[in-house]
Each structure stands twice: as structure tokens, then as C-alpha cells.
Amino acid sequence: MTTKEAEQTLSVIRTLMERSTRYTNLSGHAGIAAGILALGGSALRLWGNTPFLPTWIGVLIAASGAIVFFTARMARQNGEPFWTRQTRTVVAALLPAFIAALVITMALARVGQVALLPGTWMLLWGVGALAMGFFTPRVISLLGGSFMVAGFITLFLNPVSDALSMGLTFGAIHLLFGTVLTVARYSRWMERALTADA
């Protein structure tokens, strides 16, 4: 075996090992659903004047349910179990940011500083997404970076309307990223189908 062949073999092995540690059951539909639910929460806050914390906690619970549903469905479509080692790794990467968000939410609510929560949630979701980015496709790192920037801006601008800031971030950004994931997956599916037909 020549040096060039050995390098090519090592490159193939490295690629296969990386794929085995990457989490690939990311559903664009989950992102779209989360975005729609966040926009629904914004509408409730804006026009229904619903209470701040119950509204956004309700959106979080509904969005989490949608994410689990669509992720499990994609795992089934890929012929994989839902709770794999990669899934556990991604959840473990997200968990510290999620726990920090819960603790800070309780602390800020107790001292009457709920206006700081939207920016804090954005920042911590960004941190969690960046942590997951080590084990997921690059688009999740881009999502995390987007939310960190949005959180920084929101905390320092301190917008009057949580409905607007949450709608533009948790709503619009999730819709955008969910759509990108869905289109990319559909394009790959179409490419495989056309190749198979050929």
C-alpha cells in the first residue's frame, strides 16, 4: 500500500467514525413547529394580553412536545431507535443551559425582573445550541450563534415588548432554520430518488 492509499484509507475511516458520533435525526419540522408555537405565544401576548410566564412556559412545553414527536418520527424513518447514544449525548450537552435557564427564570421572577427573561432565554438557548453543535450538523452551531447575538442585543436594548422580541427570535429564527433543514433533507431525498431511478 502506497502512502497516498494509506492517507485515503485513514480519511475514509475518520469520516465514518465522525458520522457514527454525529446526531443526524434533526427534524426541520420540529424547528418549524417550534417557530409557529412561539409566534402563537407572541400573538397571545400581543392581542390577548395573556400572563407573561404562563404563556411562555406553555409555549416551551408545547414546543418540547413537538420536538420530541418530530425527532422520534425522523428516527423511525431512518430505521433507528429514538433514544440512542448520540441522542443522550445531545441531551447532556443541552441540559446545563436548560437547568441554568430554569434557575435564572425563578430568580428573576422572584425579584420582579421578568423583562430580562427574553434576552436571558435567547442567550442560554444559544449556549445550549452551540454545545449541541459539537455533535450535530453545522446548522445548529449557526442557530446557537444567532441566538447568542440576539440575546446580547435584547438584554442591552431591553425592548418593551416581549411579544416582538420572542416572535422575531424563537419564532422567526426557528422557522428559518427549520425550513432550511427541511429543504436540505428534501433535496437529498430527491437526489437519492433520481439516482436510484437512473
Strand, coil or helix: what is 158? coil
pLDDT, position 195:
53
**Judging by beta carbons within 10 Å of its beta carbon (0-12, 13-18, 19+), is residue 25 exposed, middle or buried?**
buried
Cβ contact 110:148 at 8 Å = no
Could you give the dihedral angle defined by the CA atoms of residues 180, 118, 121 and 156, in that order, rounded to the nearest 10 degrees?
100
Please give the chain's pLDDT, 198 residues, in tens. 566 665 665 554 454 444 445 777 788 999 999 999 999 999 999 999 999 999 999 999 999 999 999 999 988 988 888 888 888 999 999 999 999 999 999 999 999 999 999 999 999 999 999 999 888 888 889 999 999 999 999 999 877 789 999 999 999 999 999 998 888 877 765 555 445 444
Cβ contact 139:180 at 8 Å = yes
